[in-house]
Each structure stands twice: as structure tokens, then as C-alpha cells.
Amino acid sequence: MSIVAIVGRPNTGKSTLFNRLIKRREAITDAISGVTRDRHYGKSDWNGRDFSVIDTGGYAIGSDDVFEEEIDKQVELAIDEADVILFMVDASDGITREDEDVANLLRKVKKPVLLVVNKVDNPAREQDAYEFYNLGLGDYHSISSISGSGTGDLLDAVVEALPEHVETVEEDLPRFAVVGRPNAGKSSFINSLIGEERYIVTDIAGTTRDSIDTKYNRFGFEFNLVDTAGIRRKKKVKEDLEFYSVMRSVRAIEHCDVCLIVMDATRGFDGQVQNIFWLAERNRKGIVILVNKWDLVEKETNSVRDYEAQIRREMEPFTDVPIVFISVLNKQRIFKAIETAVEVYKNRSKKIKTSKLNEVLLPIIEHTPPPSLKGKFVKIKFITQLPTPQPQFAFFCNLPQYVRDPYKRFLENKLRENFDFHGVPVSVYMRKK
């Protein structure tokens, strides 16, 4: 999947455009705030093309902001990784020194750069936008990120600029991605699995740029292991391993079936791990949490229970996720982790017969129907699983618009209770009967 990066100086409306591109509603957390200021990741689609969107921190030179150097490095990394770059400027401010600095950087980039002039919400501003031809980046797209004016035409241009989608013939094997923050033990975990094995088929190039797929065949399991830990590092990456690890994880997650998220038990389920977790959840992938370095944690009677409870509080409301405590150094529960990933893959691939769904769920719904709204009563008549790679269910009823999110979560919980979707996001849709 392609990556579109939004860059520019602070306060040009980058975050507002990002929210609009990923169809973010104010009441829903549909973006991931990074550990550094103003960094977000999300998914978007337009005219049948899916792509990831990254909103970088504002590019600033010479300010007093203590985050300035870190943000600038992130912008450069995003530019390096992105397939298409949206350069945001502000029509109300005209060309600033920071805009010129970013333009100088982007003129050296050999990939599509779309100049986006924001806050063009009246004819006078449209006249002001002509000034931005002076940046030497060619034609511009005038938009208002708040009202949405012009964003449709911008998205048309983005899709046109995306690399041509190439269909690849892949083996019908599960793809398990090992992801996590640096130094959590990803490399050691992978080496423990494949380092001395004699059942390994030769390495093959993965569909995800800069990642390596290894075919694994042992103890009755066969799958492709997507290694993000061993990806070659670029010189500039030394300065910001945290951000680059997320950039690599974005691509690996999008092309896998199950994510094995390796975390460091001594650091906890911190912001970086949560970022990767929610990326996997929003991409509707199977998830297994591997708590590595458990041998280094000082234990008490209920240490495992309490530690696990804390993780589940952080991942609410999606808490039906397996958590395996491992020690790669001592090779404790390494193969338990793989067994669990295989179970999650099977859960993600599970298909429930329509007759069974209705037989089990309709009596539950009849006993606990959706709450009435405005004197209207919702009657759910029929349920079916949609033909998608991950579990998605359509509930057909007379008034789908009156079914609120709490009742959808109730239905999801009943699906989990009766059909075991442990480790897999489940989507519930209400449809007009």
C-alpha cells in the first residue's frame, strides 16, 4: 500500500486535512498521536485506491521550540519513505521563509510533490494563492481543509500520482509480521525461530518495500514470517529509530494477516507500542502481544495477572487479544507465541454459516433488543457474514440509522462469546432490510 505524507510548517492546517482524508469524526479516535508532537497515521481511500496517510510535525527552522530538531528529522524521514508528498502552505500568510526552506528540500525529491494552498475560502484568497507559483513547484491545488472545498480534486490528483498498483502472485500462506519498537527483542525472537532451523526455504523478496519474508516450516506450522527487525537502515535513521520503526511497521502491518507485537516488559505498554497496536487494529489484522524480557521483571504472586490487566486497560475497548509472556534470551514460550499466532489466523479466517448465525444470535437479540429511539423500535430480522478476509457481519433491520455504537458493541461481544474471534477485530454493520 502506498504512503502519502503531509508536510509543511506549523499551523497551515495539516492536521485538519489529515482528519478529512481519513474521514475522522470528532467523537472517534481514528488517528494515532505519536510520541512526538503532531505525528499521526491513518488510512484513506479514494476511487478504489487505498493508501496510508502520515501527518508529520510542522517543519520549522530557527524557532525556539525544543521539539524543532526532532520534528524536522521526522519530516525528512517521511519524505524519504512516502510515495506522494502533499506540501501544505497557508494562503492567508503568503510565502514565508519556512515555506521556502521546505520548497528547497522538496525540489530535490524525485517523487510526486503536490503543492496544496490551504484556507482558500473566498475569491480574494484565490487571488492571493497565485503567489505560490514563486515556490517553483508548478501548479497548486487550492483547498479549504475546514470546509472540505477542493479536497475532492486534490484526492483525484493524489490517486493519479500514486505508483501503479501491481498485482503480485503470492503463495497461499499466512503472513505473520513481527513488529514493535527498537530493542524490544524482535531480532532475537526471529533468530530463535529460524536461526538454527533446517526446515527453512530460501528467503524471498516481500511485497512490502524493504522487508524480508522467510518461509517457516516446523512443528506442523507453515507461514511467511515478515521481518521488520532486520530491515536495512539508512544513515539518517540512526537519529530517529523510533519514528522509522513505525514507518516500517505501517507497511508490514498492511501486508500481513497477523501482527506479533513484541514489547519490552521493562518498559511496559507505552505510547510507541500502543501506536503500533492501534495501527494493526484499524487495519483489521489479527494481533498477538508478546511481552518479552519477562525474566528481567521482579515478580510477586500476581505479577502476570496484574501486568496483563494493565495492558488490557490500555487497549480498551478491543481487549480480546492474546498476551503471551516470553523470554527470548531463555527461549521461554517462543513456540507458544507461534501456536497462538496460528490460532489467531484461523480465527480471522473463520466463516460462520448464515443459518448458525441466525440460530444463535436472533434469540439473544429478541431477549435484548436495541433500545428504542424517538419512539421507534428497531427489529433485526437477519444476520450474515460478509465475504471479506476478516470477520465482518451485516445485521439487517428496519431502522439501521437508530442503532447506536453501544448496541453494536453488545452484538460484537455476543459474536465473540459464541464463535471465538480471540485476537481479531470484528466489524458490525447495520443494513436496511
Binding-site residue positions for GTP: 55-59, 118-121, 180-187, 227-231, 292-295
* Sequence ranges of the binding site: 55-59, 118-121, 180-187, 227-231, 292-295
3-class DSSP state for residue 331? coil
Contact 154, 141 (CB under 8 A): yes
Of the candidates 326, 92, 335, the one whose C-alpha atom is nearest the C-alpha of residue 193 is 335
Other C-beta atoms closer than 10 Å to the C-beta of 314 total: 14
Q: Which residue has the cell 503543492?
A: 115
Question: What element of type H or E holds 4?
Answer: strand 2-8
Question: What element of type H or E holds 125?
Answer: helix 123-129
> Concatenated DSSP letters for 235-275?
GGGGG-HHHHHHHHHHHHHHT-SEEEEEEETTT-S-HHHHH
Of the candidates 327, 330, 383, the one whose C-alpha atom is nearest the C-alpha of residue 352 is 383
- As a whole number of angstroms, the distance between CA 270 and CA 372 comes to 40
- Point out which residues pair with 200 in neighbouring strands: none
